[in-house]
Amino acid sequence: MKIRWILGAAVCMTAACVSAQEAYPSRPIRMVVAFTAGSSTDLMARIVANQMSIKLKQPVIVENRPGAGGAIAAGYVAKAPADGYTVLVHSGSYVIAPWLYKNLPYDSQRDLVSVAAFGGFPGVVLTPAGKYRSLSDLIAVARKANGGLNFASAGTGSSTHMSAEKINMVAKISGQHIPFRGTPEAITDVAAGRSQYFVSPINTAMGMVKEGRVSAVAITSKRRSPLLPNVPTIAEAGLPGAEYPLWVGAFVSAKTPPAIVARLHQEIARAIDSTDVKRQYVANGIEDLSMSQATFERFIRDEIVLSGELAKRANLQPE
């Protein structure tokens, strides 16, 4: 009788577990954004979260936990209950962090699992207005300049820094890195002619491009952007292999049950595929980077390796 009772209890516990997973989500989901409200990462998170709330009939709440290049948010989610209700929304800084910080409060390959790509902002290579006819012209001048040209970024180790380093690596040029606290300051420095190039998220560059204060010479993705349809891709501009998408994606604790990870991926994909989200993506210049959960996981692993190569080239020392 005792053995029968234990077996019955085990079956009930398994059934309860399956039922709990099938019921997910049964309460609000928190999307913990690694950057401030109003950032590109935050914008994409809010677009997707709003549509998920509608489709799931459960609140999906965006919570900003900025700081330390996104490490504060990542560490918080890594230690959160592994139930799928606390989701990290991060950017390309996620794959750079292991090469910048010695004592991260998490291990990106052990403590967190990749769930889904939200999308990407094409980067646009900006130069002082009218100074360079093309990306090739900029590279030719950089090769002749003693010590290379000044290039700006929105901070050491940021995606804007790494994308410029990738251009430098593929073009086989060097330059003087000028880091700023954010994208607006970097664009302003290019407009003033002090920095000669900066790779900016396209949505934050549009105002200055339209005003003619800076020139756009290339898009750092594989497709032209509808926001700047006459600007060539970086491959069309003569530098294939220098693509660097400024992506945003979702992660959860690595201990989260696979069934919940799969359901979360499915719901994110369903939200992104909606007419309303597609409309907002186009309006904001966001590219759909839809891929399977396994493909996104491989993408992240590959990006971590690439970031290590770029960090070494940029002589970045972990702090």
Per-residue pLDDT of the chain in tens (319 residues, 90 and over written 9)? 444 444 444 444 443 344 444 589 999 999 999 988 888 899 999 999 999 999 999 999 999 998 887 889 999 999 999 999 999 999 998 999 999 888 899 999 899 999 999 999 889 999 999 999 999 999 999 999 988 999 999 888 888 999 999 999 999 999 999 998 888 899 999 999 999 999 999 988 999 999 999 999 999 999 999 999 999 999 999 999 999 988 999 999 999 999 999 999 999 999 999 999 999 999 988 989 999 999 999 999 999 999 999 888 888 888 7
Check residue 22 and give its pLDDT: 56
Domain boundaries, the chain: 28-121+245-313, 137-219
Residue type, 161: H
Check residue 6 and give its pLDDT: 43
Domain 137-219 fold: D-Maltodextrin-Binding Protein; domain 2 (3.40.190)
**DSSP collapsed to 3 states, 77-128:** HHCCCCCCCEEEEEECHHHHHHHHCCCCCCCCCCCEEEEEEEEEECEEEEEE
Long-range Cβ pairs for the range 303-311 (8 Å, 24+): 303/92, 303/95, 304/95, 304/98, 304/108, 304/109, 306/95, 307/95, 307/96, 307/98, 307/99, 307/162, 308/98, 308/99, 309/169, 310/162, 310/165, 310/166, 310/169, 311/96, 311/99, 311/100, 311/157, 311/162
Contact between 33 and 64 (Cβ < 8 Å): yes
Check residue 23 and give its pLDDT: 87
Check residue 195 and give its pLDDT: 98
Q: Given this chain, do its domains 28-121+245-313 and 137-219 carry the same CATH topology?
A: yes
Check residue 115 and give its pLDDT: 98
Q: Can you identify the CATH homologous superfamily of domain 28-121+245-313? A: Bordetella uptake gene, domain 1 (3.40.190.150)
